[in-house]
Amino acid sequence: MTNDRWLRGVGVSPGIAIGPARLVLWEIPAVTRRVVTPDQVAGEVERLRQATAAVSELLEDLRERTLQRAGTEEAKIFDAQIMMLEDRDFMGEVETLIQQNQLSAERAFEFKTLEMRALWAQSSSYKLRQRVADITGLQVRVLNQLVGRSELVPLHDPTGRPAIVFTRELTPGLTVQLEREQVAGFASVEGTRTAHAAILARSLGIPCVMGLVEGLQRIEDGMEVILDGAHGLVVLEPKEEEVAEAREWEGYRRALGAEMEQVVGEPAVTMDGVAVSLRGNVDLPEEVETTLHFGAEGVGLLRTEFMVLGRTELPGELEEAEFFGRVAKTFAGHPVVVRSYDVGGDKFPASFQSPPEANPFLGWRAIRVCLDHPEILRTQVRALLRARTHGDVKLMLPMISQVEEVERALEMVQEEVAALKREGVEAADALPVGAMIETPAAALLAPQIAERVDFLSIGTNDLTQYTLAIDRGNARLAGRFTPHHPAVIQLLKLVVEAGDAAGIETSVCGEMASDPLSAFLLLGLGFRVLSMSPPTLPLARWLVRQVEVKGARQAAQGAVHAATTGEVNAILEARIGEYVDLNLLQASRLPGVNAQTSFQGS
């Protein structure tokens, strides 16, 4: 359903805020063109140094504030800006610009940061693009200092109610700088779930929507709005009934939050005593610690694409081994399942020469690339064998569609075990290998695959995409994309039965695991290991503790024989409703949660 008073974006920090809109244009101040005379050059350099010293002090102050209000990890967000100001090369180049081109301090600083900003914004590195907001923050601060403009944004809301701040780009500094009592929510045009400011907003518990596709044209200062940070929605000038509905959902969300808090640290065991292992999916190194804090019992899917995307060269064996070893130590006593590179389509390291493909998702990707370029997989295997001396790391192969792919990869593992031994390198003498089941072909061949590997893990995002022939990233088809399609459910059943028959673990690591209704279905089908995006772990723990496997099994039996998704959902809801309040459940479900992850399909 759409509505012309609705603005769509991405929900990055859950919660509902209702209040007046406040436009905060955190703008880079205009800098006048000014050339300095040779005898003024030394004075300009001094002015630059004083301004950067003042900004450093301010940033240290903000870091301290963040430490108090949010925590150590969050406080580190300011380190990037502080480090840039302390970077002798960077600051040296600004000073050289003043000296050689006789530019004013502000012109020289603006020139250098614009250059860097353009470089980072165009970079194919996911991480660098995420950091563009750091440069903006620095530009605004240093230039404000130099032109004598105050950087504190007055919120002055005449009604005294906390405001919903709308801005083009939400910087971490702005997020923490605004007084919590004055801010009910944030919305921005730029940004994604993994932006620093989004992480901060979540830590501070401030609802936030980013990526407002329409921009800020329709926002007026003081206009009444509802912001829904879970669903990525802003409602302009809401009607009374919309406000009432929003308040009701918020009530459910809070009630659910309170219930989830009570089970932190409690074991994930169902009412009828079945233990479930809850693991985290990790996309980026900085998520490792938070995954642990969300209570993950290991990493069920460590995506390694971040190591190659945007780089001109593949990382070396030792660099990979160091990272895998570090994660293994963090999760001591629990498994860490490392997936070999799921590159393909447009996700290639810059050094790779690959012609454009008409159908990249049916193309040369993942295991197909790794087997055609065995040196890539061999390096990962060797790194894992080294890291296995530090903990329980395992290898997982994505996009399997043929048994031969598994066999070839297993041979390589054997060959590298022997090679490392010959070379006298300290490494494990075996590596558990698992297959991802994310194509219908692999699901149907699960019994044959299960005989050859140590574990199976179902990537339900791709399995749904390939079974239903629905592009997981196509927003127009998002309503049709669901792992609750009976065909997908039948495949899930086949796979878990194949794993059980072979006596190996079968887990689910697609986003499906994080949806409570789906998790109930999975428990009923016989899955006991679920891996999901870390922030959804507390909800899964809560859910597991509310239900009985007995009831879930009955629901799953019905779902397997259903003809339509509607029937499946009706069966699941009727049964789960015996254990939990369906309204609570509804308030916790994110639309499209099964469709998206950060690297694929976006």
The residues, ordered by sequence, that sit 6+ positions from 468 with a Cβ below 8 Å of its Cβ are 480, 481, 485, 487, 488
Q: How far is the CB of 475 from ligand PEP (least distance, A)?
A: 17
Nearer to ligand PEP, 110 or 342 (CB): 342
Q: How far is the CB of 304 from Mg ion (least distance, A)?
A: 13
Q: Which residues here bind ligand PEP, judged by CB under 6 A?
A: 301, 303, 342, 438, 459-462, 509-510, 597, 599-600
**Residue 336, number of CB atoms within 10 A of its CB:** 30
Nearer to ligand PEP, 36 or 532 (CB): 532
Residue located via tokens 């407002």 = 212
Return the structure tokens found at 446. Answer: 């699960």
Partner from ligand PEP, Mg ion, none contacting 162, C-beta within 5 to 8 A by type: none
Partner from ligand PEP, Mg ion, none contacting 597, C-beta within 5 to 8 A by type: ligand PEP
293 is catalytic: no
Shortest Cβ contact with ligand PEP: which residue?
459
Nearer to Mg ion, 106 or 462 (CB): 462
Nearer to ligand PEP, 48 or 436 (CB): 436
Nearer to Mg ion, 283 or 438 (CB): 438
Partner from ligand PEP, Mg ion, none contacting 510, C-beta within 5 to 8 A by type: ligand PEP
Q: Which residues here bind Mg ion, judged by CB under 5 A?
A: 438, 459, 462
Strand segments, DSSP code E, in 490-557 are 505-508, 529-532
Q: How far is the CB of 460 from Mg ion (least distance, A)?
A: 9
Largest interatomic CA distance in the chain: 86
Indicate the residue type of 120.
W
Q: How far is the CB of 363 from ligand PEP (least distance, A)?
A: 14
- CA 274 to each of CA 268, 518, 602: distance values in angstroms, whole numbers, following the listed order: 8, 17, 36
Partner from ligand PEP, Mg ion, none contacting 77, C-beta within 5 to 8 A by type: none
Q: How far is the CB of 449 from ligand PEP (least distance, A)?
A: 16
Partner from Mg ion, ligand PEP, none contacting 509, C-beta within 5 to 8 A by type: ligand PEP
Catalytic residue (choose from 208, 390, 484, 509): 509
Catalytic residue (choose from 196, 231, 390, 485): 196
Q: How far is the CB of 464 from ligand PEP (least distance, A)?
A: 8
Integer Cα distance of 166 and 2 in angstroms: 21
Nearer to Mg ion, 437 or 571 (CB): 437
Integer Cα distance of 463 and 112 in angstroms: 47
- Please classify residue 312 by burial: count the beta carbons closer than 10 Å to its beta carbon, then call 0-12 exposed, 13-18 middle and 19+ buried: exposed
Integer Cα distance of 67 and 161 in angstroms: 26
Return the structure tokens found at 158. Answer: 């005449």
509 is catalytic: yes
Integer Cα distance of 463 and 565 in angstroms: 16
- The DSSP symbol for 316 reads P
Residue located via tokens 């003498």 = 429
3-state helix, strand, coil in the chain (%, to 5): 50, 15, 35
Please give the positions annotated as active site: 196, 509
